[in-house]
Chain A
Amino acid sequence: MIDKRIVIDVGDGAAIPDPRDKGLFTAWRISFFGTLGIIAYLLIFKTDPYLDIIKFLPDGIVVTFKVTFASIGLALVLGLIAGLGRISKNTFFNLAASTYIEVVRGIPLLVQLFYIYFALGHLVRVPDMVAAIIAMGFCYGAYMGEVFRAGILSIDDGQTEASLSLGFNRSQAMRYVVLPQAWRTILPPVGNEFIALLKDTSLVSILAVSDILRRGREFASESFLYFETYTMIALVYLVITLILSKILSNVEHRLNHYERR
Protein backbone atom coordinates (compact mmCIF):
# COMPACT_ATOMS: atom_id res chain seq x y z
CA MET A 1 0.00 0.00 0.00
CA ILE A 2 1.18 3.50 -0.69
CA ASP A 3 2.36 5.22 2.44
CA LYS A 4 0.56 8.53 2.09
CA ARG A 5 1.41 11.23 4.55
CA ILE A 6 -0.52 14.40 4.25
CA VAL A 7 1.39 17.53 5.08
CA ILE A 8 -0.63 20.54 6.05
CA ASP A 9 1.17 23.72 5.29
CA VAL A 10 -0.31 26.55 7.32
CA GLY A 11 2.78 28.51 8.02
CA ASP A 12 3.60 31.94 9.13
CA GLY A 13 5.91 30.67 11.86
CA ALA A 14 9.59 29.94 11.57
CA ALA A 15 10.51 27.17 9.17
CA ILE A 16 10.88 23.91 11.06
CA PRO A 17 14.15 22.26 10.06
CA ASP A 18 14.00 18.87 8.40
CA PRO A 19 15.94 16.36 10.55
CA ARG A 20 16.85 14.38 7.45
CA ASP A 21 18.85 17.35 6.24
CA LYS A 22 22.35 16.13 7.05
CA GLY A 23 24.43 18.80 5.33
CA LEU A 24 26.90 20.85 7.37
CA PHE A 25 25.44 24.16 6.19
CA THR A 26 21.72 24.25 6.79
CA ALA A 27 19.64 27.40 6.98
CA TRP A 28 19.01 26.62 10.62
CA ARG A 29 22.69 26.27 11.52
CA ILE A 30 23.70 29.40 9.65
CA SER A 31 20.95 31.41 11.36
CA PHE A 32 21.50 29.93 14.81
CA PHE A 33 25.27 30.06 15.03
CA GLY A 34 25.32 33.36 13.15
CA THR A 35 23.00 34.87 15.74
CA LEU A 36 24.98 33.45 18.66
CA GLY A 37 28.14 34.78 17.04
CA ILE A 38 26.76 38.29 16.72
CA ILE A 39 25.53 38.26 20.33
CA ALA A 40 28.94 37.05 21.54
CA TYR A 41 30.69 39.70 19.45
CA LEU A 42 28.51 42.47 20.86
CA LEU A 43 28.94 41.30 24.45
CA ILE A 44 32.72 40.96 24.17
CA PHE A 45 33.68 43.92 22.02
CA LYS A 46 30.84 46.30 22.82
CA THR A 47 30.28 45.27 26.41
CA ASP A 48 28.97 48.70 27.16
CA PRO A 49 26.00 49.01 26.59
CA TYR A 50 25.06 45.50 25.38
CA LEU A 51 25.77 43.71 28.66
CA ASP A 52 23.46 46.07 30.49
CA ILE A 53 20.76 45.56 27.88
CA ILE A 54 20.89 41.78 27.98
CA LYS A 55 20.91 41.77 31.79
CA PHE A 56 17.69 43.75 31.69
CA LEU A 57 15.83 41.21 29.53
CA PRO A 58 15.57 37.84 31.43
CA ASP A 59 12.49 38.91 33.42
CA GLY A 60 10.84 39.72 30.11
CA ILE A 61 11.84 36.36 28.63
CA VAL A 62 10.13 34.60 31.54
CA VAL A 63 6.97 36.64 31.00
CA THR A 64 7.00 35.98 27.26
CA PHE A 65 7.22 32.23 27.90
CA LYS A 66 4.50 32.32 30.54
CA VAL A 67 2.14 34.12 28.17
CA THR A 68 3.09 31.82 25.29
CA PHE A 69 2.58 28.55 27.15
CA ALA A 70 -0.65 29.61 28.83
CA SER A 71 -2.04 30.98 25.55
CA ILE A 72 -1.09 27.91 23.54
CA GLY A 73 -2.74 25.70 26.19
CA LEU A 74 -5.95 27.69 25.92
CA ALA A 75 -5.67 27.79 22.13
CA LEU A 76 -5.26 23.99 21.92
CA VAL A 77 -8.38 23.39 24.02
CA LEU A 78 -10.43 25.93 22.05
CA GLY A 79 -8.93 24.67 18.80
CA LEU A 80 -9.88 21.05 19.52
CA ILE A 81 -13.44 22.09 20.38
CA ALA A 82 -13.67 24.36 17.32
CA GLY A 83 -12.16 21.72 15.05
CA LEU A 84 -14.56 19.03 16.27
CA GLY A 85 -17.39 21.54 15.88
CA ARG A 86 -16.43 22.27 12.30
CA ILE A 87 -16.73 18.59 11.36
CA SER A 88 -19.77 17.95 13.57
CA LYS A 89 -23.11 17.01 12.03
CA ASN A 90 -24.84 18.86 14.87
CA THR A 91 -25.98 22.09 13.22
CA PHE A 92 -25.75 24.25 16.34
CA PHE A 93 -22.29 23.08 17.34
CA ASN A 94 -21.06 23.36 13.76
CA LEU A 95 -22.40 26.88 13.26
CA ALA A 96 -21.09 28.07 16.62
CA ALA A 97 -17.60 26.80 15.79
CA SER A 98 -17.64 28.19 12.25
CA THR A 99 -18.84 31.59 13.42
CA TYR A 100 -16.15 31.76 16.10
CA ILE A 101 -13.49 31.01 13.50
CA GLU A 102 -14.88 33.46 10.94
CA VAL A 103 -15.16 36.30 13.42
CA VAL A 104 -11.77 35.83 15.02
CA ARG A 105 -9.97 35.44 11.71
CA GLY A 106 -11.55 38.60 10.40
CA ILE A 107 -10.18 40.87 13.11
CA PRO A 108 -6.51 41.86 13.43
CA LEU A 109 -4.85 40.34 16.48
CA LEU A 110 -3.84 43.72 17.88
CA VAL A 111 -7.41 44.98 17.66
CA GLN A 112 -8.65 41.80 19.38
CA LEU A 113 -6.10 42.26 22.12
CA PHE A 114 -7.31 45.77 22.82
CA TYR A 115 -10.93 44.75 22.52
CA ILE A 116 -10.79 41.73 24.82
CA TYR A 117 -8.58 43.59 27.25
CA PHE A 118 -10.99 46.51 27.62
CA ALA A 119 -14.16 44.44 27.24
CA LEU A 120 -12.96 42.14 30.02
CA GLY A 121 -12.07 45.23 32.00
CA HIS A 122 -15.72 46.28 31.90
CA LEU A 123 -16.92 42.97 33.27
CA VAL A 124 -14.29 41.78 35.72
CA ARG A 125 -11.06 43.09 37.02
CA VAL A 126 -8.39 40.61 35.93
CA PRO A 127 -4.63 41.01 35.98
CA ASP A 128 -3.15 42.34 32.76
CA MET A 129 -1.33 39.13 32.05
CA VAL A 130 -4.50 37.04 32.38
CA ALA A 131 -6.36 39.35 30.00
CA ALA A 132 -3.49 39.06 27.53
CA ILE A 133 -3.50 35.26 27.78
CA ILE A 134 -7.26 35.03 27.25
CA ALA A 135 -7.05 37.31 24.21
CA MET A 136 -4.11 35.46 22.64
CA GLY A 137 -5.63 32.04 23.38
CA PHE A 138 -9.01 33.05 22.02
CA CYS A 139 -7.49 34.30 18.80
CA TYR A 140 -5.07 31.44 18.22
CA GLY A 141 -7.81 28.92 19.13
CA ALA A 142 -9.56 29.88 15.90
CA TYR A 143 -6.47 29.22 13.79
CA MET A 144 -5.85 26.04 15.73
CA GLY A 145 -9.44 24.97 15.03
CA GLU A 146 -8.72 24.93 11.32
CA VAL A 147 -5.53 22.95 11.92
CA PHE A 148 -7.41 20.36 13.98
CA ARG A 149 -10.16 20.14 11.40
CA ALA A 150 -7.70 19.54 8.57
CA GLY A 151 -5.77 17.02 10.69
CA ILE A 152 -8.87 15.02 11.57
CA LEU A 153 -10.12 15.07 7.98
CA SER A 154 -6.73 13.83 6.78
CA ILE A 155 -7.37 10.50 8.53
CA ASP A 156 -8.98 7.97 6.22
CA ASP A 157 -12.67 7.21 6.90
CA GLY A 158 -11.74 3.54 6.96
CA GLN A 159 -10.10 4.07 10.34
CA THR A 160 -13.40 5.30 11.80
CA GLU A 161 -15.38 2.56 10.05
CA ALA A 162 -13.05 -0.12 11.39
CA SER A 163 -13.47 1.32 14.90
CA LEU A 164 -17.25 1.44 14.59
CA SER A 165 -17.36 -2.11 13.26
CA LEU A 166 -15.60 -3.29 16.42
CA GLY A 167 -18.25 -1.64 18.60
CA PHE A 168 -16.69 1.72 19.41
CA ASN A 169 -19.06 4.68 19.33
CA ARG A 170 -18.12 7.79 17.37
CA SER A 171 -16.48 9.66 20.21
CA GLN A 172 -14.47 6.60 21.26
CA ALA A 173 -13.33 6.16 17.65
CA MET A 174 -12.27 9.81 17.63
CA ARG A 175 -10.44 9.50 20.94
CA TYR A 176 -8.68 6.15 20.54
CA VAL A 177 -8.11 5.97 16.79
CA VAL A 178 -8.54 9.21 14.85
CA LEU A 179 -7.03 11.86 17.16
CA PRO A 180 -3.88 9.90 18.04
CA GLN A 181 -3.19 9.62 14.31
CA ALA A 182 -4.32 13.14 13.46
CA TRP A 183 -1.91 14.44 16.09
CA ARG A 184 1.02 13.47 13.86
CA THR A 185 -0.42 15.44 10.97
CA ILE A 186 -1.38 18.31 13.24
CA LEU A 187 1.92 18.61 15.06
CA PRO A 188 3.95 20.51 12.42
CA PRO A 189 1.33 23.24 11.91
CA VAL A 190 0.71 23.39 15.67
CA GLY A 191 4.43 23.86 16.13
CA ASN A 192 4.36 26.65 13.58
CA GLU A 193 1.45 28.27 15.36
CA PHE A 194 3.30 27.95 18.65
CA ILE A 195 6.30 29.83 17.32
CA ALA A 196 4.08 32.38 15.58
CA LEU A 197 2.25 32.88 18.86
CA LEU A 198 5.49 33.39 20.74
CA LYS A 199 6.39 36.14 18.32
CA ASP A 200 2.92 37.66 18.47
CA THR A 201 3.13 37.86 22.27
CA SER A 202 5.30 40.90 21.60
CA LEU A 203 1.97 42.66 20.97
CA VAL A 204 1.00 42.26 24.63
CA SER A 205 3.75 44.71 25.53
CA ILE A 206 1.11 47.32 24.63
CA LEU A 207 -1.15 46.02 27.40
CA ALA A 208 1.32 46.79 30.18
CA VAL A 209 2.58 43.20 30.31
CA SER A 210 6.33 43.19 30.91
CA ASP A 211 7.44 40.83 28.18
CA ILE A 212 10.75 40.98 26.33
CA LEU A 213 9.70 43.87 24.12
CA ARG A 214 8.21 45.93 26.94
CA ARG A 215 11.32 45.45 29.08
CA GLY A 216 13.38 46.59 26.13
CA ARG A 217 11.22 49.65 25.57
CA GLU A 218 11.56 50.55 29.23
CA PHE A 219 15.32 50.24 28.98
CA ALA A 220 15.48 52.25 25.76
CA SER A 221 13.30 55.06 27.04
CA GLU A 222 15.59 55.55 30.02
CA SER A 223 18.91 55.16 28.24
CA PHE A 224 17.92 56.51 24.80
CA LEU A 225 19.84 53.57 23.28
CA TYR A 226 17.01 52.65 20.90
CA PHE A 227 19.09 51.09 18.14
CA GLU A 228 21.23 48.97 20.47
CA THR A 229 18.25 47.80 22.53
CA TYR A 230 16.11 46.73 19.58
CA THR A 231 19.10 45.01 18.01
CA MET A 232 19.47 42.88 21.12
CA ILE A 233 15.73 42.24 21.36
CA ALA A 234 15.62 41.01 17.76
CA LEU A 235 18.59 38.71 18.39
CA VAL A 236 17.05 37.28 21.57
CA TYR A 237 13.73 36.55 19.81
CA LEU A 238 15.63 34.91 16.98
CA VAL A 239 17.62 32.64 19.29
CA ILE A 240 14.45 31.58 21.10
CA THR A 241 12.47 30.79 17.94
CA LEU A 242 15.40 28.95 16.37
CA ILE A 243 15.81 26.76 19.45
CA LEU A 244 12.08 26.06 19.55
CA SER A 245 11.91 25.14 15.89
CA LYS A 246 14.77 22.68 16.41
CA ILE A 247 13.05 21.08 19.40
CA LEU A 248 9.77 20.79 17.49
CA SER A 249 11.53 19.25 14.54
CA ASN A 250 13.02 16.57 16.77
CA VAL A 251 9.74 15.83 18.53
CA GLU A 252 7.97 15.56 15.20
CA HIS A 253 10.64 13.23 13.90
CA ARG A 254 10.26 10.94 16.90
CA LEU A 255 6.47 10.87 16.72
CA ASN A 256 6.67 9.73 13.13
CA HIS A 257 8.65 6.59 13.95
CA TYR A 258 5.80 4.24 13.11
CA GLU A 259 5.41 5.70 9.65
CA ARG A 260 8.89 4.63 8.63
CA ARG A 261 9.59 1.28 7.14
Chain B
Amino acid sequence: MNADNPIISIQNVHKFFGTFKALDDVSLTVDAGQKVVVIGPSGSGKSTLLRTINRLETISSGTIVVDGQDINAPSSDINLIRAEVGMVFQSFNLFRHKSVLDNLTLAPIKLKKEPRLEAERRAMELLEKVGMVDKAESYPVQLSGGQQQRVAIARALAMNPKIMLFDEPTSALDPEMIGEVLDVMVTLAREGMTMVVVTHEMGFAREVADSVVFMDEGKIVEIAPPNRFFDHPAHTRTQRFLEQIL
Protein backbone atom coordinates (compact mmCIF):
# COMPACT_ATOMS: atom_id res chain seq x y z
CA MET B 1 0.00 0.00 0.00
CA ASN B 2 1.06 3.56 -0.50
CA ALA B 3 0.18 6.94 0.89
CA ASP B 4 -2.79 7.23 -1.45
CA ASN B 5 -4.30 4.09 0.01
CA PRO B 6 -3.84 4.18 3.78
CA ILE B 7 -4.91 1.21 5.91
CA ILE B 8 -6.56 3.56 8.41
CA SER B 9 -8.15 6.79 7.29
CA ILE B 10 -9.84 9.01 9.85
CA GLN B 11 -11.60 12.03 8.34
CA ASN B 12 -13.13 14.97 10.22
CA VAL B 13 -14.24 12.89 13.18
CA HIS B 14 -16.23 14.48 15.99
CA LYS B 15 -17.23 12.67 19.15
CA PHE B 16 -19.43 14.00 21.92
CA PHE B 17 -20.02 12.53 25.35
CA GLY B 18 -23.22 14.41 26.13
CA THR B 19 -22.15 18.01 25.60
CA PHE B 20 -18.45 17.28 26.15
CA LYS B 21 -16.47 17.35 22.93
CA ALA B 22 -14.06 14.41 23.19
CA LEU B 23 -12.90 14.56 19.58
CA ASP B 24 -12.96 17.80 17.64
CA ASP B 25 -12.55 17.48 13.87
CA VAL B 26 -9.81 14.87 13.99
CA SER B 27 -8.22 13.61 10.78
CA LEU B 28 -5.39 11.09 10.63
CA THR B 29 -4.15 8.53 8.16
CA VAL B 30 -1.98 5.51 8.86
CA ASP B 31 -0.25 3.56 6.11
CA ALA B 32 0.30 -0.17 6.23
CA GLY B 33 3.38 -0.95 8.29
CA GLN B 34 3.46 2.49 9.84
CA LYS B 35 3.88 2.96 13.60
CA VAL B 36 2.01 5.93 14.97
CA VAL B 37 2.39 6.98 18.59
CA VAL B 38 -0.30 9.21 20.07
CA ILE B 39 0.59 11.28 23.12
CA GLY B 40 -1.07 14.05 25.05
CA PRO B 41 -2.30 15.01 28.50
CA SER B 42 -5.04 12.92 30.10
CA GLY B 43 -8.48 13.84 28.84
CA SER B 44 -7.05 14.95 25.51
CA GLY B 45 -9.05 12.34 23.59
CA LYS B 46 -6.18 10.06 22.59
CA SER B 47 -7.71 6.88 24.03
CA THR B 48 -11.11 7.84 22.63
CA LEU B 49 -9.55 8.28 19.19
CA LEU B 50 -7.90 4.87 19.40
CA ARG B 51 -11.16 3.23 20.47
CA THR B 52 -13.05 4.71 17.52
CA ILE B 53 -10.76 2.79 15.14
CA ASN B 54 -12.40 -0.54 16.08
CA ARG B 55 -15.69 1.13 17.00
CA LEU B 56 -15.53 0.44 20.71
CA GLU B 57 -16.54 4.10 20.67
CA THR B 58 -19.03 5.24 18.07
CA ILE B 59 -18.41 8.61 16.46
CA SER B 60 -20.82 11.53 16.23
CA SER B 61 -19.75 12.57 12.73
CA GLY B 62 -16.99 12.01 10.18
CA THR B 63 -15.74 8.82 8.57
CA ILE B 64 -13.29 6.13 9.55
CA VAL B 65 -12.11 3.70 6.87
CA VAL B 66 -10.13 0.66 7.97
CA ASP B 67 -8.62 -1.62 5.35
CA GLY B 68 -10.94 -0.25 2.69
CA GLN B 69 -14.16 -0.47 4.71
CA ASP B 70 -16.13 2.37 6.23
CA ILE B 71 -16.52 0.88 9.72
CA ASN B 72 -19.62 2.92 10.54
CA ALA B 73 -21.47 2.04 7.31
CA PRO B 74 -24.52 -0.16 7.91
CA SER B 75 -23.23 -2.58 5.25
CA SER B 76 -19.96 -3.24 7.09
CA ASP B 77 -19.67 -6.25 9.37
CA ILE B 78 -17.95 -4.69 12.37
CA ASN B 79 -17.12 -8.09 13.84
CA LEU B 80 -15.10 -9.06 10.76
CA ILE B 81 -13.29 -5.72 10.83
CA ARG B 82 -12.52 -6.06 14.53
CA ALA B 83 -11.04 -9.49 13.92
CA GLU B 84 -8.43 -7.76 11.73
CA VAL B 85 -7.66 -5.08 14.29
CA GLY B 86 -6.01 -6.36 17.46
CA MET B 87 -6.30 -4.32 20.61
CA VAL B 88 -4.28 -4.25 23.80
CA PHE B 89 -5.82 -2.58 26.84
CA GLN B 90 -4.37 -0.72 29.78
CA SER B 91 -5.96 -3.21 32.18
CA PHE B 92 -4.99 -6.31 30.09
CA ASN B 93 -8.53 -7.77 30.21
CA LEU B 94 -7.41 -11.37 29.95
CA PHE B 95 -10.29 -13.82 30.26
CA ARG B 96 -10.08 -14.67 33.93
CA HIS B 97 -11.80 -18.04 33.67
CA LYS B 98 -9.45 -19.34 30.96
CA SER B 99 -5.86 -20.53 31.09
CA VAL B 100 -3.26 -18.55 29.18
CA LEU B 101 -3.39 -21.04 26.32
CA ASP B 102 -7.21 -20.95 26.20
CA ASN B 103 -7.12 -17.16 26.21
CA LEU B 104 -5.17 -17.35 22.96
CA THR B 105 -7.18 -20.12 21.30
CA LEU B 106 -10.74 -19.05 22.18
CA ALA B 107 -11.27 -16.59 19.34
CA PRO B 108 -9.47 -18.60 16.60
CA ILE B 109 -11.44 -21.74 17.52
CA LYS B 110 -14.85 -20.08 17.87
CA LEU B 111 -14.58 -17.46 15.15
CA LYS B 112 -12.21 -18.89 12.56
CA LYS B 113 -13.22 -22.49 13.27
CA GLU B 114 -9.58 -23.46 13.51
CA PRO B 115 -9.04 -27.04 14.71
CA ARG B 116 -7.99 -27.02 18.36
CA LEU B 117 -4.60 -28.60 17.73
CA GLU B 118 -3.76 -26.10 15.03
CA ALA B 119 -4.91 -23.18 17.22
CA GLU B 120 -2.84 -24.48 20.13
CA ARG B 121 0.26 -24.96 17.99
CA ARG B 122 -0.01 -21.38 16.77
CA ALA B 123 -0.75 -20.15 20.30
CA MET B 124 2.42 -21.80 21.60
CA GLU B 125 4.43 -20.06 18.84
CA LEU B 126 3.01 -16.72 19.94
CA LEU B 127 3.68 -17.46 23.60
CA GLU B 128 7.26 -18.32 22.62
CA LYS B 129 7.49 -14.94 20.95
CA VAL B 130 6.34 -13.06 24.06
CA GLY B 131 8.38 -15.32 26.38
CA MET B 132 5.42 -16.91 28.14
CA VAL B 133 5.58 -20.55 27.04
CA ASP B 134 6.16 -21.84 30.55
CA LYS B 135 2.98 -20.14 31.76
CA ALA B 136 0.69 -21.64 29.11
CA GLU B 137 -1.32 -23.59 31.67
CA SER B 138 -1.47 -20.78 34.25
CA TYR B 139 -4.52 -18.63 34.93
CA PRO B 140 -4.36 -14.84 34.60
CA VAL B 141 -4.55 -14.20 38.37
CA GLN B 142 -1.35 -16.19 38.77
CA LEU B 143 0.61 -13.81 36.53
CA SER B 144 2.24 -10.45 37.15
CA GLY B 145 0.95 -7.39 35.31
CA GLY B 146 3.79 -7.48 32.81
CA GLN B 147 3.20 -11.17 32.11
CA GLN B 148 -0.54 -10.59 31.68
CA GLN B 149 0.09 -7.81 29.21
CA ARG B 150 2.48 -9.95 27.17
CA VAL B 151 -0.19 -12.67 27.05
CA ALA B 152 -2.76 -10.05 26.03
CA ILE B 153 -0.55 -9.02 23.11
CA ALA B 154 -0.19 -12.66 22.08
CA ARG B 155 -3.95 -13.14 22.34
CA ALA B 156 -4.56 -10.21 19.99
CA LEU B 157 -1.95 -11.58 17.56
CA ALA B 158 -3.64 -15.00 17.53
CA MET B 159 -6.30 -13.61 15.19
CA ASN B 160 -3.57 -12.55 12.70
CA PRO B 161 -4.60 -8.90 12.75
CA LYS B 162 -3.40 -6.45 10.12
CA ILE B 163 -3.35 -3.62 12.64
CA MET B 164 -2.56 -3.51 16.36
CA LEU B 165 -3.96 -0.84 18.65
CA PHE B 166 -2.34 -0.26 22.05
CA ASP B 167 -4.24 1.76 24.66
CA GLU B 168 -1.68 2.85 27.27
CA PRO B 169 -0.34 -0.72 27.49
CA THR B 170 2.21 0.04 30.23
CA SER B 171 0.31 2.59 32.33
CA ALA B 172 -1.02 0.01 34.81
CA LEU B 173 2.33 -1.70 35.27
CA ASP B 174 4.90 -1.48 38.03
CA PRO B 175 7.98 0.30 36.66
CA GLU B 176 10.17 -2.81 36.60
CA MET B 177 7.68 -4.57 34.30
CA ILE B 178 7.37 -1.87 31.67
CA GLY B 179 10.54 -2.93 29.85
CA GLU B 180 9.41 -6.50 29.17
CA VAL B 181 6.20 -5.28 27.53
CA LEU B 182 7.93 -2.58 25.50
CA ASP B 183 10.47 -5.16 24.28
CA VAL B 184 7.65 -7.26 22.85
CA MET B 185 6.15 -4.18 21.19
CA VAL B 186 9.49 -3.18 19.68
CA THR B 187 9.93 -6.69 18.25
CA LEU B 188 6.45 -6.51 16.77
CA ALA B 189 7.22 -3.13 15.24
CA ARG B 190 10.43 -4.45 13.67
CA GLU B 191 8.44 -7.26 12.05
CA GLY B 192 6.45 -4.63 10.17
CA MET B 193 3.14 -4.65 12.06
CA THR B 194 0.96 -1.58 11.59
CA MET B 195 0.68 -0.08 15.07
CA VAL B 196 -1.18 2.78 16.68
CA VAL B 197 0.04 3.26 20.23
CA VAL B 198 -1.32 5.58 22.90
CA THR B 199 1.42 5.84 25.51
CA HIS B 200 3.38 8.02 27.88
CA GLU B 201 6.61 6.16 27.09
CA MET B 202 8.58 8.80 25.22
CA GLY B 203 11.60 6.52 24.81
CA PHE B 204 9.42 4.04 22.95
CA ALA B 205 7.99 6.82 20.78
CA ARG B 206 11.46 8.03 19.85
CA GLU B 207 12.75 4.56 19.08
CA VAL B 208 9.82 3.05 17.21
CA ALA B 209 7.45 5.70 15.89
CA ASP B 210 7.33 6.76 12.26
CA SER B 211 5.23 9.69 13.37
CA VAL B 212 4.16 11.12 16.69
CA VAL B 213 0.71 12.65 17.10
CA PHE B 214 0.16 15.17 19.87
CA MET B 215 -3.43 15.68 21.01
CA ASP B 216 -4.93 18.23 23.36
CA GLU B 217 -8.56 19.04 24.16
CA GLY B 218 -9.88 16.65 21.53
CA LYS B 219 -7.81 18.11 18.71
CA ILE B 220 -4.69 16.93 16.94
CA VAL B 221 -2.22 19.72 17.60
CA GLU B 222 0.81 18.38 15.79
CA ILE B 223 1.94 15.39 13.75
CA ALA B 224 5.67 14.99 13.15
CA PRO B 225 8.45 12.38 12.90
CA PRO B 226 9.88 11.72 16.36
CA ASN B 227 13.18 13.57 15.91
CA ARG B 228 11.50 16.75 14.83
CA PHE B 229 8.68 16.30 17.31
CA PHE B 230 10.90 15.94 20.36
CA ASP B 231 13.74 18.25 19.34
CA HIS B 232 11.92 20.99 17.47
CA PRO B 233 8.20 20.90 18.30
CA ALA B 234 6.36 23.41 16.17
CA HIS B 235 3.59 24.41 18.57
CA THR B 236 3.95 26.12 21.90
CA ARG B 237 1.35 23.74 23.41
CA THR B 238 3.53 20.79 22.41
CA GLN B 239 6.61 22.49 23.81
CA ARG B 240 4.93 23.10 27.13
CA PHE B 241 3.73 19.48 27.33
CA LEU B 242 7.20 18.12 26.57
CA GLU B 243 8.77 20.41 29.16
CA GLN B 244 6.38 19.07 31.76
CA ILE B 245 7.04 15.40 31.12
CA LEU B 246 10.70 15.23 30.08
Contact (Cβ within 8 A) A165 B95:
no
Residues in B with CB closer than 8 Å to A172 are 110-111
Report the Cα distance A184→B141, complex, angstroms.
15
Contact (Cβ within 8 A) B83 A261:
no
Q: Which of A173-181, A189-197, A229-237 contacts B (4 or more CB under 8 A)?
A: A173-181
Contact (Cβ within 8 A) A166 B156:
yes
Kindly report which residue of chain A lies nearest to residue B155, judged by CB atoms. Answer: A166
Chain B's nearest CB lies how many Å from the CB of A156?
7
How many residue pairs, one in A and one in B, have C-beta atoms under 8 Å apart?
80
Contact (Cβ within 8 A) A261 B141:
yes
Contact (Cβ within 8 A) A166 B139:
no
Of A3, A161, A165, A261, the contact of B86 (CB 8 Å cutoff): A165
Chain A's nearest CB lies how many Å from the CB of B90?
9
> Do A3 and B156 contact each other (CB < 8 Å), given the known contacts A161-B93, A164-B82, A167-B82?
no
Contact (Cβ within 8 A) A165 B110:
no
Residues in B with CB closer than 8 Å to A161 are 56, 89, 93
Contact (Cβ within 8 A) A159 B83:
no
B44 at the interface (CB under 8 A from A): no
> Do A167 and B142 contact each other (CB < 8 Å), given the known contacts A162-B95, A258-B96, A258-B97?
no
Contact (Cβ within 8 A) A158 B93:
yes
Contact (Cβ within 8 A) B141 A259:
yes
Contact (Cβ within 8 A) A165 B79:
no
Report the Cα distance A159→B96, complex, angstroms.
9
B85 at the interface (CB under 8 A from A): yes
Interface size class on chain A is 20 to 34
A93 at the interface (CB under 8 A from B): no
Residues in B with CB closer than 8 Å to A176 are 106, 110
Residues in A with CB closer than 8 Å to B83 are 166-167
Contact (Cβ within 8 A) B93 A156:
yes
Report the Cα distance A67→B134, complex, angstroms.
49
A114 at the interface (CB under 8 A from B): no
Q: Name which of A167, A177, A258 has the most chain B CB atoms within 10 A of its CB.
A: A167
Q: Name which of B96, B142, B156 has the most chain A CB atoms within 10 A of its CB.
A: B96
Report the Cα distance A158→B168, complex, angstroms.
14
A250 at the interface (CB under 8 A from B): no
Kindly report which residue of chain B lies nearest to residue A183, judged by CB atoms. Answer: B97
Residues in A with CB closer than 8 Å to B172 are 1
> Do A166 and B107 contact each other (CB < 8 Å), given the known contacts A158-B89, A259-B141?
yes
A169 at the interface (CB under 8 A from B): yes
A28 at the interface (CB under 8 A from B): no
Kindly report which residue of chain A lies nearest to residue B81, judged by CB atoms. Answer: A167
Kindly report which residue of chain A lies nearest to residue B139, judged by CB atoms. Answer: A258
Kindly report which residue of chain B lies nearest to residue A181, judged by CB atoms. Answer: B97
Report the Cα distance A162→B87, complex, angstroms.
8
Q: Name which of A161, A162, A166, A172 has the most chain B CB atoms within 10 A of its CB.
A: A166
Contact (Cβ within 8 A) A166 B82:
yes
Contact (Cβ within 8 A) B93 A167:
no
Contact (Cβ within 8 A) B145 A159:
no
B29 at the interface (CB under 8 A from A): no
Residues in A with CB closer than 8 Å to B155 are 162, 166
Closest 4 CB pairs of A and B: A167-B83, A162-B93, A158-B93, A165-B87
Please give 20 more A-B residue pairs, beta carbons under 8 A apart, in addition to A1-B141, A156-B93, A177-B106. A1-B145, A1-B148, A3-B141, A159-B95, A161-B93, A164-B54, A164-B56, A164-B82, A166-B83, A166-B106, A167-B80, A167-B82, A168-B110, A168-B111, A172-B110, A180-B97, A258-B97, A258-B141, A259-B96, A260-B141
Which residues of A pack against B, CB within 8 Å? 1, 3, 156, 158-159, 161-169, 172, 176-177, 180-181, 184, 258-261
